[in-house]
Structure 1
Amino acid sequence: MPDERPVNVEAADREKVMVLTRLSIFAAVLLAPAAADAATAERSRFGTMPDGTVIEAVTLTGENGVSARIIALGATLQSLNAPDREGRVADVTLGYDDLESYVGKPNYWGQTIGRYANRIAGGRFVLDGRTYQLQQNDGTNSLHGGADGFDKRVWRITNVASGPRASVTLALTSPDGDQGYPGTLQATVTYTLDDAGSLAIDYAATSDRPTIVNLTNHALFNMAGEGSPTSTLSQRLTIPAARYLPVDEKLIPTGELRPVAGTVFDFQQGRLLGDGLRDGRDPQIVVGHGWDHNWVLDKGTTAQPELAARLEDPASGRVLEVLTTEPGLQFYSGNFLDGSLVGKQGHVYRMTDGLAFEPQKFPDTPNQPAFGSARVEPGRPYRHSMIYRVSVAPAEAAR
Structure 2
Amino acid sequence: MPDRAPQTVERRLPTEEARELLALVRDIAEREIAPRAAEEEDAGRFPRELFSLLSSSGLLGLPYASEYGGGDQPYAVYLQVLEELAAARLTVGLGVSVHTLSCHALAGFGTEEQRAAHLPAMLGGGLLGAYCLSEPASGSDAASLRTKAVREGDEWMLTGTKAWITHGGIADFCTVMARTGGEGPKGITAFLVPGDAEGLSAAAPERKMGMKGSPTAQLHFDGVRIPDARRIGEEGQGFAVALSALDSGRLGIAACAVGLAQAALDQAVEYARERRQFGRPIADFQGLRFLLADMATRIEAGRALYLEAARLRDEGRPFGRQAAMAKLFCTDAAMQVTTDAVQVLGGYGYTADFPVERYMREAKMLQIVEGTNQIQRMVIARHLVGPESR
TM-score, with length taken from structure 1:
0.22
Structure having the higher Rg: 1
Between Structure 1 and Structure 2, the one with more strand by share is 1
